[in-house]
Amino acid sequence: MNTFDSSLLGALPDLQLLSARPLSGGLSNRCWVLEFCHRRTSETLTAVWRPKASSAEAFGLSRRHEFLILNSLQAAAIAPNSIALLEHGLLVEWVEGKMADEKLSAYSLLQVQAEIHALPVPQWRLDVQEKAAHYWQYIPAKHKSPQLKQVFDYFRQHPPQLWFADTCCHHDLGRYNIICQPDGHLRVIDWEYAAAGDPSLDLALTINANQLDIEPAVMNYCQLRDRQDGERWLAAVKAWQPWCDYLSMLWFYVGATLWPEESSYLSEGLRLQRKLAVLVA
């Protein structure tokens, strides 16, 4: 889709759409950056359109949940502000700045992680087995090889241990989802996977996404949260590592189904499948 359907914004008559461009870099969704002019005040507004697309359904994403959590976090100034939840998508504030890169230290990244875990806990939670079962429904039979089925059955039959009480979790805290603003403030975007959950799973996902060294990352995190049970946190993160690979594998297979022209989804799913097959053999 190369053009944006402005009729999707019919519930916002005070905003005149000036321009629309596809937002590059999104994996779970194909979002748009929209420029508006307020008809009454003539003020301009830049926003991101996050659609209720078939991809959102396949990945099990709720724009309503995303809207609710962004509203609950406005006082924390860590996330974009929500503008409007509409029938066909969510309109959120565009965050000015540059995407974080390797210059953002692991310690600074973990500071953000600790801050998120101290936020109000959402009313819905991420259950990894339910998430895996949802992904499985959207993977076609042609991809469900005996090896993939073996991996899926193994994780289905071995529920994970829950290590710590639920906190607010982002579940996708890669540097690619952190914006460094001109004043130095860090803002976190893409809260579509956010939910209540075991914070040690969220920490494991963050370590994987940013390729951090596990032991120093866990110890820094515990220091930031004033936790004295670092060895238990380390054991928890190591226990969650295979689950991180498992969920990622299924996610890539869903992506390969949605966008078969992009071969990287299938190749990455296969790589993780082979890695996990060795574990479960």
Q: How many angstroms separate the CA atoms of 167 and 201, rounded?
A: 11
CATH number of 6-94: 3.30.200
* Burial (CB count <10 Å: 0-12, 13-18, 19+), residue 61: middle
The one-letter amino acid at 91: L
Percent of the chain residues topping a pLDDT of 70: 98
Residue 46 predicted with pLDDT over 70: yes
Q: How many angstroms separate the CA atoms of 156 and 234, rounded?
A: 24
The one-letter amino acid at 207: I
Per-residue model confidence (pLDDT) at position 30: 76
* Domain boundaries, given as residue ranges, for the chain: 6-94, 99-280
Q: How confident is the model at residue 27 (pLDDT cuts 50, 70, 90)?
A: low
Q: Which CATH class is domain 99-280?
A: alpha beta
Per-residue model confidence (pLDDT) at position 10: 87
Q: How many angstroms separate the CA atoms of 42 and 14, rounded?
A: 10
Residue 44 predicted with pLDDT over 90: yes
Q: Write out pLDDT tens, residues 151-202.
A: 999 999 999 999 999 999 999 999 999 999 999 899 999 999 999 999 999 9
Torsion, Cα 103 107 108 113, to 10 degrees, reads: 130
- Token pair recorded at residue 119: 């936020």
| Unique residue bearing structure tokens 């032991």 | 215
Averaged pLDDT for residues 138-148: 97
- Token pair recorded at residue 189: 């975007």
Q: How confident is the model at residue 54 (pLDDT cuts 50, 70, 90)?
A: confident
Residue 205 predicted with pLDDT over 70: yes
Q: How many angstroms separate the CA atoms of 174 and 191, rounded?
A: 12
Residues 6+ positions from 181 with CB-CB distance below 8 Å: 95, 96, 97, 187
Q: Write out pLDDT tens, residues 77-102.
A: 999 999 999 999 999 999 999 999 99
Fold matches, 6-94 and 99-280: no
